[in-house]
């Protein structure tokens, strides 16, 4: 074994080794040019040690020999001691900003302040848009504005039927029968009495037709769905109510199903249609009533409508009809440019709201929509030379949650209109109420076919096409 003194002697005699650097600093080609700027000498570089450097690099010269030189390094900064935070509100606690940063900071602060205030207003008013849309006034204030509009709409309750205009009496009387559940079901369904009746013997009996004549009139309206279907709609409505569903769910799962089922049972299911039109806007805009403040009333929309198909006549081709109407400057048979109902005249308009929303806002929307409808009909009558023809009253329906109500818009000339309010025609909170609604919708479809269609075709549609008048159709009985 080697002794320690021998090992030390061997280490002293051994040549020191250096590891080749991974990235040796080689001189650039420009340094080899005779015209290049002279580089500092090794001694000049070595003098940079007094700048506070303590690192050592390996320098490789042209001949490939290596030499240790000290590379200058900047002095390490001294670590800063943490300062205790200044109390809030101290002037020095606010950072010093440049003018550009200050303006951007102020704009952000204003934006956050406005967003906060709008969110508070949204919570306070129950708005669902979170400050994106500003309320323009209460529904009551809007109703008062309509009284002084260019085409004012006055609300008036339905009281005694004989005091109503003759054009209204027949349909209002039929709706009053439905209101009190008289004859809403044929006597063949008497076995349903225990399920659909309110539990009062006399009222239970009145729900069913009493004579053959009443039974025949009920059959003319159409058939009714069975109890299983009615129970399903009842359960669905109560589910929407309990879960606080939005208006869209009510429209999809309750209201549209009732409208479709009522239409399906009528004999007019190929001549009429129930359309879902929440995106249909009033068009052209000049149909929207103009207030005395020279500002337009809010352009309102509705959710559903009952329309009439005009291509049921085999001699009429819809494409040819459209081209004929275009040729006389008519691009729609309604007061809207919504493509789905452009060529199917609206007979009944329906507005829906969530439960507990109240009827004021819904009736306000219908009044604006109905006023535009009447103005459009008057323009069409004038276009074909029938300006003196009176416009028949237009039924309107308001649905708030489970409750269904009937309104009427009566044109009183170019200066005003009356909105007659209101007749309950059923609800979806009971099975009997569901059959009330079905009967009421079928009565409206019958009115649209037997009363509104002849009036529209005779006074507007046929004159637009230059066609002869059609034979009269029996009115509603």
CB-CB neighbours of 391 under 10 Å: 20
How high is the pLDDT of residue 121?
37
Q: How confident is the model at residue 295 (pLDDT cuts 50, 70, 90)?
A: very low
Q: How confident is the model at residue 63 (pLDDT cuts 50, 70, 90)?
A: very low
How high is the pLDDT of residue 32?
54
Percentage of residues of the chain with pLDDT beyond 70: 64
pLDDT tens for each residue of 181-193: 999 999 999 999 9
Q: How confident is the model at residue 310 (pLDDT cuts 50, 70, 90)?
A: confident
Residue 185, Cβ density class (10 Å: 0-12 exposed, 13-18 middle, ≥19 buried): buried
Can you say whether residue 379 is alpha, beta or left, with left for phi > 0 and alpha for psi between -120 and 50 degrees?
A: alpha
Does the pLDDT at position 27 exceed 70? no
**In the chain, how many domains are there?**
1
Question: Rg (Cα) of the chain, in Å, rounded?
Answer: 42
Residue 224, Cβ density class (10 Å: 0-12 exposed, 13-18 middle, ≥19 buried): buried
Flag the least confident range among 219-228, 232-241, 310-319, 407-416.
Answer: 310-319
Q: How confident is the model at residue 228 (pLDDT cuts 50, 70, 90)?
A: very high
Instruction: Match 């249609």 to its residue by tokens.
Output: 273
* Residue 440, token pair as written in the block: 């009421």
Flag the least confident range among 11-20, 85-94, 191-200.
Answer: 85-94
Cis (ω within 30 of 0) for the bond into 48?
no
Flag the least confident range among 108-117, 278-287, 459-468.
Answer: 108-117
Position 450 in a domain: yes
Position 90 in a domain: no
pLDDT tens for each residue of 345-385: 999 999 999 998 888 888 888 989 999 999 999 999 999 99
pLDDT tens for each residue of 396-405: 999 999 999 9
How high is the pLDDT of residue 138?
61
Q: How confident is the model at residue 71 (pLDDT cuts 50, 70, 90)?
A: low
Q: How confident is the model at residue 263 (pLDDT cuts 50, 70, 90)?
A: very high
How high is the pLDDT of residue 473?
44
Position 240 in a domain: yes
pLDDT tens for each residue of 407-460: 999 998 767 888 998 899 999 999 999 999 999 999 999 999 999 999 999 999
Position 120 in a domain: no
Answering whether pTM is above 0.95, one says no
How high is the pLDDT of residue 241?
96
How high is the pLDDT of residue 123?
35
The whole-number average pLDDT for the span 213-241 is 97
CB-CB neighbours of 418 under 10 Å: 18
The whole-number average pLDDT for the span 112-123 is 43
The whole-number average pLDDT for the span 219-236 is 97
**Average of per-residue pLDDT values in the chain:** 79
Percentage of residues of the chain with pLDDT beyond 90: 50
Position 124 in a domain: no
Does the pLDDT at position 294 exceed 80? no
Position 313 in a domain: yes
Q: Which residue would you say has higher pLDDT here, 37 or 380?
A: 380
Within 8 A by CB and 6+ apart from 431, the residues are 195, 196, 227, 230, 231, 234
How high is the pLDDT of residue 120?
40
- Structural domain harbouring 403: 170-465
Within 8 A by CB and 6+ apart from 55, the residues are 70, 71, 73
Position 340 in a domain: yes
Position 334 in a domain: yes
For residues 212 and 234, the answer to whether their CB atoms sit within 8 Å is no
Q: How confident is the model at residue 168 (pLDDT cuts 50, 70, 90)?
A: confident
């Amino acid at each position: 074994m080697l002794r320690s003194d021998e090992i030390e002697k061997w280490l002293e005699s051994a040549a020191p080794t250096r590891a080749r650097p991974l990235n040796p600093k080689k001189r650039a080609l420009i340094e080899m040019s005779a015209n290049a700027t002279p580089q500092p000498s090794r001694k000049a570089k070595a003098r940079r040690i007094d700048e506070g450097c303590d690192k050592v690099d390996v320098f490789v010269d042209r001949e490939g020999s290596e030499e240790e030189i000290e590379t200058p390094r900047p002095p390490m900064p001294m670590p800063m001691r943490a300062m205790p935070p200044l109390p809030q509100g101290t002037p020095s606690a606010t950072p010093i900003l440049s003018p550009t940063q200050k303006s951007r900071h102020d704009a952000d602060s204003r934006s956050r302040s406005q967003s906060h205030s709008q969110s508070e207003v949204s919570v306070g008013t129950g708005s669902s848009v979170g400050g994106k849309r500003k309320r323009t006034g209460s529904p009551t204030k809007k109703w008062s504005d309509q009284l002084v509009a260019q085409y004012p709409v006055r609300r008036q309750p339905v009281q005694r039927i004989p005091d109503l205009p003759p054009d209204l009496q027949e349909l209002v009387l039929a709706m009053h029968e439905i209101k009190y559940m008289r004859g809403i079901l044929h006597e063949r369904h008497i076995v349903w009495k225990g399920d659909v009746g309110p539990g009062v013997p006399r009222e239970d009996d009145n729900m069913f037709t009493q004579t053959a004549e009443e039974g025949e009139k009920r059959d003319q309206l159409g058939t009714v769905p069975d109890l299983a279907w009615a129970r399903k709609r009842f359960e669905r409505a109560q589910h929407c109510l309990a879960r606080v569903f939005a208006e869209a769910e009510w429209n999809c799962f309750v209201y549209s199903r009732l409208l479709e089922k009522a239409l399906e049972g009528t004999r007019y299911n190929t001549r009429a249609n129930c359309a879902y039109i929440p995106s249909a806007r009033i068009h052209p805009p000049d149909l929207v009533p103009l207030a005395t403040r020279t500002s337009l009333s809010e352009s309102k929309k509705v959710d559903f409508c009952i329309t009439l198909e005009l291509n049921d006549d085999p001699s009429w081709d819809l494409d040819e009809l459209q081209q004929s109407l275009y040729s006389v400057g008519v691009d729609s048979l309604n007061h809207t440019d919504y493509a789905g109902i452009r060529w199917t005249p609206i007979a009944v308009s329906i507005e829906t709201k969530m439960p507990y929303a109240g009827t004021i806002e819904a009736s306000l929307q219908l009044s604006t929509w109905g006023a535009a409808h009447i103005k459009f009909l008057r323009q069409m009558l004038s276009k074909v030379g029938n300006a003196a023809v009176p416009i028949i009253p237009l039924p309107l329906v308001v649905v708030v949650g489970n409750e269904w109500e009937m309104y009427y818009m009566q044109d009183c000339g170019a200066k005003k209109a009356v909105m007659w309010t209101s007749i309950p025609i059923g609800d979806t909170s009971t099975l009997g109420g569901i059959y009330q609604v079905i009967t009421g919708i079928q009565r409206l479809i019958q009115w649209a076919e037997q009363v509104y269609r002849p009036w529209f075709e005779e006074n507007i549609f046929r004159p637009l096409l230059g066609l002869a008048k059609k034979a009269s159709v029996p009115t509603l009985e």
